[in-house]
Amino acid sequence: MVPSPTIIPIIMAGGAGSRLWPVSRDSMPKQFIELLDGGLSAFQATIRRVVGKGFGRPIVVTNNDFRFITAEQLAALGVEAEIVLEPERRDSAAAVAVGALLAERQAIGGGTCLLLASDHVIGDEAGFLNAVREASSVAATGRIMTLGITPDHPSTAYGYIHPGSEDLGQGARSIERFVEKPDRQTAERYIAEGYVWNSGNFAFATEVMLQELETYAPGVLAAAREAVDKAVLDLDFVRLDALSFAASPTISIDYAVMEKTKRGGVLAAEFGWSDIGSWDSLHAVKDKDENGNRLEGDVVAIDTTNSFVRSEEALTTVVGLDDVVVVTTHDAVLVSSMQAAPKVKTLVAELKRAGRREAGEHMRIHRPWGWYQRIDIGDRFQVKHICVKPGGRLSLQRHHHRAEHWVVVHGTAEVTIDGAVKFYHENEAAYLPIGCVHRLHNPGKIDLKLIEVQVGSYTGEDDIVRIEDVYARS
Amino acid sequence: MVPSPTIIPIIMAGGAGSRLWPVSRDSMPKQFIELLDGGLSAFQATIRRVVGKGFGRPIVVTNNDFRFITAEQLAALGVEAEIVLEPERRDSAAAVAVGALLAERQAIGGGTCLLLASDHVIGDEAGFLNAVREASSVAATGRIMTLGITPDHPSTAYGYIHPGSEDLGQGARSIERFVEKPDRQTAERYIAEGYVWNSGNFAFATEVMLQELETYAPGVLAAAREAVDKAVLDLDFVRLDALSFAASPTISIDYAVMEKTKRGGVLAAEFGWSDIGSWDSLHAVKDKDENGNRLEGDVVAIDTTNSFVRSEEALTTVVGLDDVVVVTTHDAVLVSSMQAAPKVKTLVAELKRAGRREAGEHMRIHRPWGWYQRIDIGDRFQVKHICVKPGGRLSLQRHHHRAEHWVVVHGTAEVTIDGAVKFYHENEAAYLPIGCVHRLHNPGKIDLKLIEVQVGSYTGEDDIVRIEDVYARS
């Protein structure tokens, strides 16, 4: 059996990935970042894995906050997909339900869904497709198939599946039980007893999943069905109805369905899989130098071994250390032992409790029109670098507490101030007095870059009155 | 004996201190940085240690590059001193010779010099003064006295002195020999045999030191004498004659004189001394929390022990590590094991070989009129934050390749453009076209802060034609 148009990939791209902080943050989580070589984000690699291979049109389920980056990264691949926006996080059961309901509409007369995480890495693409083919063929017999991974080490970072005695064909087994992340000793026992890793990727017949949701998680299914029924098409997005979706319980598909259903199955496979869940697992899948180091960006290391060092900006140096993770970004630095790397999640939770912006937000804030980044701040002033893509248009807006100076350093700006439109070119400056109604637009063919100097008694991001917005944000 | 005006402190403040990189750099070395509590740099603490205690007027020997910071830090203490500028580095023998020659002129009829490093920490000021008093009294008998430190651990970071059998009074001994930094085992033996640390601080009769220099390092003395004879008073500085001074051999006072003279002596003392030569020794003298950590600046550490973490700007986090040094600055990050911290010197040498600006220069560049810091750079543009102190006046200058936009964000600027003078206040912007002759002045009573956006084909620091400069730099 070859993949068929009735196999519809559902890509789950709404997660946050705090264990890869400070690179991965709520405002731009790991699936959208180029963490591996090849110039693609993990999300894009996932999309590419299933596009042009004979599958149906992908359904991407993501968070409303990630709609522009999702669309941008799909556009960069030249791929069309259905982008479904969750108004808030309800964990994976609700996302699976939404995906299955949309797949049911897409594939007349049923069909099979291939549910994929968007933040995993797969080394052996052929092995992956082979496993998908086998799992889908078993799924067609009415099983909800989990892609299990044959362990190559006693990982304490993954949940395990104990395969059952029933042979489902294609080498697949029934499921005896799911178990949580074990300690090392338990993990060794699991491996000896034939357990496999739970990869969190599934294949199932649409109707079977919907039936099992109806049986074991009716609240989730009902909320998802209403959210889909009342969804509106907003620009290119399927925007789920917020009130309906909010009614769904917050629960994972493992807890809601997989641990209860009698129709589960697991196919053990090996295809160089990792969930790159934390810095140590990312390091494990990377190529390393003769000292066991992986050095990325502006890094100098001496007398250092078995370490992962990544710099996004500042010169980063390491001296006389073994088995450490060092990650430096514009506004936050992480130094961890390799072993403690999963605890970064705890760290980020602590930072969030303390109300730290760095816990969830990057310095470079992506917007549908481009991005901006604060480069300086002080008493009564703030300086930003703003980049507007060709054709990008900021909202028509006004500030109550700050004036702005814009100095164009690249490209051409079309600036509207209180109704008057004027063009500014490189080395020209515009002044926007407090209270004026203004808009910035890039009418050109190259990026517009400008330095914005804000001066005023309050320079917070929330001092903005949006009067009109082409991206439906006002 | 109490300290007398005929004891003249000579403060050596020309060193670079690369082992405390990235905080200490050539452009602003460790003696001028507030590394310890109390709001003073180590240089200022050294000055305060000898001012108002009955000593003579201090002579500060420093490098030409540090003249403004030296003057500024003395002024902040309200202390007057003779600031002697070395046109280039010739190690400590030449500096001692210059200091002794100037002290000879200051103290008619001879006198005693107290030669102090400017980058050491002393915990017990009374013990220090007591040791100085005793050493000076022995020095008056014709000995060049070294302040030796009774070791409290087998340090491998210090040179040792083997005291001789001759009793010089006051508990002082003759010197059997100087030895280099030992390995740990040798250090333990040295301690068992009564060796003391060589602190690099001395007391001597001026004429004795000059005689010994004449005997053992005549080239150094001759060069120093000519450099002093031909020195010019430039603003408030004694500027040594460059050509004469350059003729001096580059050699330390230990090698040039102390290891050869028959007139050496050592006084063993304990006064909470450390040369804070590297991050581990700085950590050793700091107060620490219950986990043995010293966390400075915006730092969050979990499961971390016995570590020194200092952030000058970015949120810096440490997870699951023991015995590490983490230092983050605007443009460079250092992560080291505590033990390997002295190797930072090797790292910095490697960075210098690679031509890295960060090896020697800070982002914030201090000037006599204030400071500036680059906050962004890109193709054909650069952005700086400029701060001009009240009364500060930049040189009258011109650029060949860039225009500049100045947006005042604090205070008032007096801007001269091609002879026309205009005042700019907060939230006002000036434009300086390529090639115009301009000058920036702060005529006010508070700091002037402005954001400078440079636009042009070349934004390097060397595109500057200085037409006139109140600080004698043109």
Searching chain A, which residue's CA lies closest to the CA of residue B383? Answer: A451
Closest CA to A163 of A140, A135, A197, A186: A197
Both tokens of A15, joined, read 């997660």
Mean pLDDT to the nearest integer, B322-331: 96
**Element of type H or E holding A282:** helix A279-285
Please tell me the distance in Å from A302's CA to the nearest CA on chain B: 7
Closest CA to A27 of A82, A73, A64, A60: A64
Query: Which of B336, B346, B379 is closest, CB to CB, to A321?
Result: B336
Q: Do B340 and A321 touch (CB under 8 A)?
A: yes
Q: Do A383 and B375 touch (CB under 8 A)?
A: yes
Nearest-10 crossing angle of helices A42-50, A67-77: 50
Q: Do A316 and B332 touch (CB under 8 A)?
A: yes
Please tell me the distance in Å from A323's CA to the nearest CA on chain B: 10
Mean pLDDT to the nearest integer, A186-193: 96
Q: What angle do CA A214, A216, A220 make, to 5 degrees?
A: 65
> What DSSP character marks residue A171?
T
pLDDT in tens, B1-47: 445 557 999 999 998 889 999 999 998 999 999 998 888 999 999 99
pLDDT for position B413 = 97
Query: Which of B324, B350, B403 is closest, CB to CB, to A427?
Result: B403
pLDDT for position A472 = 74
Please tell me the distance in Å from A243's CA to the nearest CA on chain B: 37
Nearest-10 crossing angle of helices B206-216, B218-229: 120
Q: Is the four-CA dihedral A351, A354, A355, A358 of positive or negative sign? A: negative
Chain B residues with CB inside 8 Å of A308's CB? Answer: none
Specify the fold of A7-274.
Answer: Spore Coat Polysaccharide Biosynthesis Protein SpsA; Chain A (3.90.550)
Please tell me the distance in Å from A432's CA to the nearest CA on chain B: 10
Characterize the bridge pairing of strands A82-86 and A59-63. Answer: parallel
Share of chain B above pLDDT 90, in %: 85
CB A412 within 8 A of CB A448: yes
Whether the ω angle into residue B87 lies within 30 degrees of 0, i.e. cis, is no
pLDDT for position A1 = 44
pLDDT in tens, B415-439: 999 999 999 999 999 999 999 999 9
Query: Which of B300, B340, B343 is closest, CB to CB, to A351?
Result: B300
Searching chain B, which residue's CA lies closest to the CA of residue A322? Answer: B337
Query: Which of B314, B334, B383 is closest, CB to CB, to A375?
Result: B383
Q: Do A332 and B316 touch (CB under 8 A)?
A: yes
Q: For an interface test with A, which of B348, B357, B405, B408 has the most A Cβ atoms less than 10 Å from its Cβ?
A: B405
Please tell me the distance in Å from B68's CA to the nearest CA on chain A: 26
Please tell me the distance in Å from B280's CA to the nearest CA on chain A: 13
Q: For an interface test with A, which of B315, B375, B452 has the most A Cβ atoms less than 10 Å from its Cβ?
A: B315
What distance in Å separates the CA atoms of residue B362 and residue B187, rounded to the nearest whole number?
36
Query: Which of A331, A350, A451 is closest, CB to CB, to B383?
Result: A451
Q: For an interface test with B, which of A20, A318, A333, A447 has the most B Cβ atoms less than 10 Å from its Cβ?
A: A333
What distance in Å separates the CA atoms of residue A249 and residue A92, rounded to the nearest whole number?
10
Q: Do A455 and B385 touch (CB under 8 A)?
A: no
Chain B residues with CB inside 8 Å of A354's CB? Answer: 300
Banded pLDDT at B365 (limits 50, 70, 90): confident
Q: Do A318 and B335 touch (CB under 8 A)?
A: yes
Q: Do B410 and A380 touch (CB under 8 A)?
A: yes
Q: Do A335 and B318 touch (CB under 8 A)?
A: yes
CB B122 within 8 A of CB B107: no
pLDDT for position A109 = 56
pLDDT in tens, A362-374: 888 888 899 999 9
Query: Which of B22, B319, B407 is closest, CB to CB, to A336?
Result: B319
What distance in Å separates the CA atoms of residue B472 and residue B474, rounded to the nearest whole number?
6
Please tell me the distance in Å from A160's CA to the nearest CA on chain B: 26
pLDDT for position A6 = 78
Alpha-helical (H) ranges within B29-124 are 42-50, 67-77, 91-106
Phi, psi of A218 (to 5 degrees): -60, -30
Q: How many CA atoms lie within 13 A of A451 on its CB side?
A: 29
Residue A454 has pLDDT above 70, yes or no: yes
Both tokens of B270, joined, read 């304990």
pLDDT for position B108 = 61
DSSP secondary structure, B51-72, as one string: TTTT----EEEEEGGGHHHHHH
Mean pLDDT to the nearest integer, B171-196: 94
pLDDT for position B1 = 44
* Distance (Å) of CA B370 to CA A18, B64, B137, B360, B441: 41, 17, 44, 19, 11
Sort B390 into a burial class: Cβ within 10 Å, 0-12 / 13-18 / 19+: middle
CB B18 within 8 A of CB B345: yes
Searching chain A, which residue's CA lies closest to the CA of residue B331? Answer: A314
Alpha-helical (H) ranges within B115-181 are 125-139
Q: For an interface test with A, which of B427, B432, B448, B459 has the most A Cβ atoms less than 10 Å from its Cβ?
A: B427
Q: Does residue B362 sit in helix, strand or coil? A: coil
What distance in Å separates the CA atoms of residue B240 and residue B127, rounded to the nearest whole number?
35
What distance in Å separates the CA atoms of residue B55 and residue B129, rounded to the nearest whole number?
11
Q: Do A316 and B335 touch (CB under 8 A)?
A: yes
pLDDT in tens, B85-131: 999 999 999 999 999 999 998 866 568 999 999 999 999 999 999 99
Mean pLDDT to the nearest integer, B63-81: 93
Chain B residues with CB inside 8 Å of A347's CB? Answer: 300, 302, 317, 319
Q: For an interface test with A, which of B299, B307, B311, B381 has the most A Cβ atoms less than 10 Å from its Cβ?
A: B381
CB A121 within 8 A of CB A174: no
Please tell me the distance in Å from A374's CA to the nearest CA on chain B: 10
Closest CA to A363 of A27, A88, A19, A12: A27
Nearest-10 crossing angle of helices B91-106, B218-229: 50
Searching chain A, which residue's CA lies closest to the CA of residue B348? Answer: A317
Closest CA to B16 of B86, B102, B100, B113: B86
Q: What angle do CA A356, A359, A365 make, to 5 degrees?
A: 100
CB B158 within 8 A of CB B281: no
Closest CA to B203 of B138, B252, B248: B138
Q: Do B300 and A347 touch (CB under 8 A)?
A: yes
Chain A residues with CB inside 8 Å of B335's CB? Answer: 316-319, 321, 324, 326, 335
- Assign 3-class secondary structure to B291-326: CCCEEECCEEEECCECCEEEECCCEEEEECCECEEE
Q: For an interface test with A, which of B309, B333, B336, B386 has the most A Cβ atoms less than 10 Å from its Cβ?
A: B333
pLDDT in tens, A219-268: 999 999 999 999 998 777 999 999 999 999 999 999 999 999 999 999 99
Q: Do B429 and A427 touch (CB under 8 A)?
A: no
Query: Which of B320, B336, B409 is closest, CB to CB, to A337?
Result: B320
pLDDT for position B53 = 87
Domain boundaries, chain B: 7-274, 286-353, 364-468
Whether the ω angle into residue B22 lies within 30 degrees of 0, i.e. cis, is yes
Q: Do A336 and B318 touch (CB under 8 A)?
A: yes
Residue B474 has pLDDT above 60, yes or no: no
- Non-local CB neighbours of A68 within 8 Å, separated by 6+ positions: A366, A367, A368, A471
CB B420 within 8 A of CB B375: no
Size of interface A-B (CB pairs under 8 A): 192
Q: Do A375 and B376 touch (CB under 8 A)?
A: yes
Q: Do B316 and A333 touch (CB under 8 A)?
A: yes
Q: Does residue B195 sit in helix, strand or coil? A: coil
Residue A3 has pLDDT above 70, yes or no: no
More confident residue, B235 or A460: A460
pLDDT in tens, A14-71: 988 899 999 999 989 999 999 988 889 999 999 999 998 889 999 999 999 899 899 9
Q: Does residue A210 sit in helix, strand or coil? A: helix
Please tell me the distance in Å from A382's CA to the nearest CA on chain B: 9
Pick the CATH number of A364-468 from 2.60.120.10, 3.40.50.970, 1.10.510.10, 2.40.30.10: 2.60.120.10
Sort A353 into a burial class: Cβ within 10 Å, 0-12 / 13-18 / 19+: exposed
Mean pLDDT of the residues in chain B: 93
pLDDT for position B368 = 86
Query: Which of A385, A409, A455 is closest, CB to CB, to B426?
Result: A455
The amino acid present at A315, given as its one-letter code, is L
Query: Which of A333, A350, A403 is closest, CB to CB, to B328?
Result: A333
Please tell me the distance in Å from A415's CA to the nearest CA on chain B: 18
Mean pLDDT to the nearest integer, B318-347: 97
Both tokens of B237, joined, read 């500085």
Please tell me the distance in Å from B341's CA to the nearest CA on chain A: 7
pLDDT in tens, B270-301: 999 999 999 999 999 999 999 999 999 999 99
Query: Which of B358, B449, B455 is closest, CB to CB, to A409?
Result: B455
Searching chain B, which residue's CA lies closest to the CA of residue A333? Answer: B316
Characterize the bridge pairing of strands B324-328 and B273-274. Answer: unpaired
